[in-house]
A and B are shown apart, each in its own frame.
Chain A
Amino acid sequence: MLAIAALILGAPHDARAFCGFYVGKADEPLVNHASQVVIAHHDDKTVISLMNDYQGEPSDFALVVPVPVVLQKGQVHIGDRELFQKIDAYSSPRLVEYYDPDPCRIMDYEMPMAAAGGMALNREAAPSPAEAKALGVTVEAEYTVGEYDIVILSAKESSGLQTWLQQSGYKIPLGADRALEPYIRSDMKFFVAKVNLTEHNRTGLTYLRPLQFAFESPKFMLPIRLGMINSQGPQDLVVYMLTQNGRVETTNYRTVKLPTGMDIPEYVRTDFGGFYKAMFDEQVKRNDMRAVFTEYVWNMGWCDPCAGPPLSRDELRSLGVFWLDDQPGGATPMYRRPGGGPMIYPQPMTGATPVTLTRLHVRYSADTFPEDLIFQETQDQENFQARYVMHRPWDGSPSACEGAKNYFDDLNKRKAHEAETLADLTGWNLQDVIKKAGLSPESQPKPWWQDIWGS
């Protein structure tokens, strides 16, 4: 999903994910996938974690994010990249596999597969420092955290800020001042990070670790507009919301749950990521790219079936969930169904963990998302997962028993229906689906007129 080329100018793509944009010094193309952000929010307190899969030279990395308040050193932290992978795995759209019971007996199990749903993250950027200037730009704070040199700026006018960034070596895209202006007028500050090469080398890591920052502000929003400057097309953003009470939705855009629970043909198993991507594309199209999609809403204490294990208390705390009490950490031990069935974490008897995860996936363009995303936490605690079902047929023979014949009759109808469902969800050509599903051409529904005159 990604967009790639874009970074050419430095900023845009990345911006997506983050609430800001990456700026690069070099013109080298940087690879982006979908951006990922984790936001833990409760009582006007927010912890944002920005995941970064920047692939370029560390010396070329830089990131600009509007923030509501000046962040002091203690409010900025280096996160753990693995937690993004875990939370992604836990909340990914999933394909569940069921085996048809022997129609001559009774039995049933299901196997969930984690779905690498085709979404990825995004990151990149390039770097540069700054010299203090009298451009109406104030350096509110300056410090080094982990491998990042960080500057918190406030500005009086956007052109001054743009000049400051340019003189400091940041490659600012054209039109940046126009995009910066509303944030300056709203009295927001700018979090600007670049890589401290000495510190980076000391970590011995080949990648840049996620940045996290904590602040208190009634603004529950994600500034995406900055990332749209000179963007060359739609961008993907996945937001993981961790809240105490319920599902999170956007208040200024429609929040839509993805189609879920559908039966789809078996062959999808070989390319579930491709299926999910096509389905998401189709849903985006049907909603004119004007909706935010809900992929997952679940209490963090359990899952069923699980695409990945729930995060432990320590892991949640590390992602900014500050309201968990100090009980010992660790999720309930994983439980497997007898017979090698699907992985589930049962709902704890002690009650739900006070953390709800809402996974929102949005594809946006400058035209269809004129405003930043504004969120609200609802009281809705109903669980939701993007889940697709695949039935494995029984491999017996129609002559095995009386019930077997009926079973195979029904099976053919079911397969035809699954093919139609798949074509409808993804916008794929039904003929192609039928072919790939290994169904005979007769499986497709006859045109209504075919039987009129008998042919």
Chain B
Amino acid sequence: MDAFSSTPKHWTASLADPRLFQIFALGILLAAGAYFRDFSIRPEQVILTFAAGLLTQTACWTLTPSKPRTLRSAIITCLSLTLLLRANNLIAHPIAAAAAISSKSLFRFRGKHLFNPATFGLIFAIVLLPGTWVSPGQWGQDVAIAAWVVMFGMLVTSRARRGDISWTFLAFYLGALALRIEYLGQRWAVWTHQLESGALLLFAFFMISDPMTGPNDRRGRVAHAALVAAIAYAWQFRLYRTNALIWALFIAAACVPLWDAIWPARKFEWTQNGGANVFSANQSSHFVNARDRGADSRRAA
């Protein structure tokens, strides 16, 4: 792998960063939603989200000057917010974006930020900002199905190692939904209908899979995925509350330091930033696990 990583083609190295694929995929989803569906997101809201999110990100750099500087994560956060958050005013989106990005600097534990920024931004908005909501039903069957295909394809081909948390979570959560349907004696069409939520898809592939806020060790990630699935299930089917997945990830974030303490492993670092490793495009990049971290760190150095 070091042989690969020594290839100093800057552009190929950039393409190695899986966040670029995420940005591409989310951008397509946003465009498709706006064009084919009434996503009720206004262009001004999108612009303000990005303006506030990216400005906040640059401001935060002054707090942590040594970190590699890239706006890719901030762009993903802003895309997620515009895809999920709805508001009847123009101020909610930029405030939520600023809160999301600054949460990375404000809520830290042992060098890791606690909350996935998009999750934090959404919770912040729906709890504190007037005129905000999330529309889980906005996707529709065809768009959601197409998106599932794209997401799975992306995940499989990238062979991202921290993608394990996406699969684990989906196994737990969809398994729980299936058991419930079996218990209730409902038709299986209900199960497939429940998969049509684009919010579930965004959640599984872009939020819970965030390597920066998930547990470092594989066992920790399994525990985390199970906990998130359990909270989400209870939230939706016991308490009958909305936005179950987002709340579950928000609440379960408090336990990530616990999983990291029980199963210590090296913290994830993004390896983009110019050179890094072409190899990671095919092999792991994005979700490099603990053992690869050493190599990545050396390369980064």
Contact = CB atoms under 8 A, between A and B. Distances in A.
B137 A250 contact: yes
A435 interface: no
A11 to B, nearest CB: 18
Contacts of A378: 86, 133, 135
Given A185-B183, A185-B185, A220-B240, A382 B88 contact: yes
A158 B184 CA distance: 11
A288 B141 CA distance: 10
B88 A380 contact: yes
B193 A371 contact: yes
B88 A379 contact: yes
B136 A254 contact: no
A291 B196 CA distance: 13
A329 interface: no
B130 interface: yes
B189 interface: yes
21 contacts: A182-B186, A185-B184, A218-B241, A220-B240, A246-B133, A249-B135, A251-B135, A251-B137, A252-B193, A252-B194, A254-B139, A257-B38, A291-B140, A370-B186, A370-B187, A371-B193, A376-B242, A379-B87, A379-B133, A380-B131, A381-B131
Interface in A263-303: 287-288, 290-291
Nearest to B237: A186
Among B135, B137, B190: residue with most chain A CB under 10 A: B137
Given A185-B184, A219-B240, A380-B131, A252 B140 contact: no
A181 interface: yes
B196 to A, nearest CB: 9
A178 interface: yes
A253 B137 contact: yes
Interface of B: 37-38, 86-88, 130-133, 135-141, 183-187, 189-190, 193-194, 197, 239-242
A217 B86 CA distance: 26
A287 B143 CA distance: 12
Contacts of B131: 379-381
A409 interface: no
A218 B189 CA distance: 25
A404 interface: no
B177 to A, nearest CB: 11
A78 interface: no
Nearest to A177: B185
Contacts of A251: 135-137, 242
Contacts of A182: 184-186
Contacts of B138: 254-255
A116 interface: no
Interface string A178-192: 100110011000000
